[in-house]
Structure 1
Amino acid sequence: MEEVKEVVEDKEEVEGKEVEGMDNNQKSGKAKIAIFTCAGGSNTGQLANAIGIKLVKANLGYMVCLAGIAAGIKTSFKKVSQAKDVIVIDGCPKSCAKKILEKAGIEINYHYDVTKLGIKKVPGSIDFTPQEVEIVEKLITENLNSI
């Protein structure tokens, strides 16, 4: 329990401070959206992660390590504290990424489940198509551009 308390204290201690290692987009405010993605063992989990990467490359936000939040890593909490908004892209209705952030006390502004965007989960497969990437990326990008 002491470790959990320490994480909360660290989170409060770092709010508002600049994070070492942030890229110029993050520092300049061009991409003030923290992006968390599922990277689960299915096609939709891997698709969610691929979409997160595409959003970063399009300068719509920056990715934060979901495992870092679960593990209580200070720099992950620092990156979140500097975000204007937090989005989560989950691979299925189990919403594991969303639940991890909620348990850590992180407010989520936008949550996407790729199965609710028309993609069928195929357990045991990590493959997805370029068309699936295009469909999901377009829907999320249009939504983010309206923010």
Structure 2
Amino acid sequence: MKKNDLPLVYSCSGCSQVAQLANRIAVTLDRRQHAQMSCIAGVGGQVKPLLKLARSGRPILAIDGCALSCAKHSLANIGVQPSHHLQLADYGLKKKCAEEYSDEVAEQLVQEINQTILPQLIPLTAIVDSD
């Protein structure tokens, strides 16, 4: 599948462990070429090429660690609504500082996203073209 056919993924990467987990999940999706990660800080900073990418019309997965939903709100500030918003707090993960979630928790969430969310975001033509 071509990079431009992949959904975009934006994540919070704030100071709490759930924010860092959101970022780790987004990085994993990007490195495995299941999504293309883009920079939510650049969106908030009004960096023109990153605004253009966010507004490109590609499907977007926004991953936030907590109920503040910083990634979702940063996109909303430029008039973009994610195709799917994932909040890790909805999975019972609590916002705490000075703690980390295990690699196993991260991998479970990556697998869940791959199985239940990404198939909804990848255009059918991209799947057909890759065969």
Give the TM-score normalised by the residue count of structure 2. 0.82
**Partner residue, 1:26:** 3
1:126 Cα deviation (Å)? Answer: 5.0
The percentage of counterpart residues that share the same residue type is 26
Alignment of 1:1-147 (within 5 A): 25-27=2-4, 29=5, 31=6, 33-122=7-96, 124-147=97-120
Where do 5+ consecutive residues of structure 2 fail to align? 121-131
Cα deviation, 1:39-74, whole Å, max 9, x if unaligned, reads 011110000000001111221111111111111111
1:141 Cα deviation (Å)? Answer: 1.5
Structure 2 counterpart of 1:26, one-letter code? K
Where do 5+ consecutive residues of structure 1 fail to align? 1-23
Question: Residues 41 and 126 of structure 1 are in contact (CA less than 8 Å); yes or no, is this contact kept in structure 2?
Answer: no
Q: Which has the larger radius of gyration?
A: 1
When the two chains are superposed, the root-mean-square deviation of aligned CA atoms in Å is: 1.8
Distance 1:108 1:145 in 2: 13
Distance 2:62 2:70 in 1: 10
Question: Residues 70 and 100 of structure 1 are in contact (CA less than 8 Å); yes or no, is this contact kept in structure 2?
Answer: yes
Q: Does 1 or 2 have the higher relative contact order (CA < 8 Å, sep 6+)?
A: 2
Distance 1:35 1:51 in 2: 10
Structure 2 counterpart of 1:78, one-letter code? K
Distance 2:94 2:108 in 1: 12
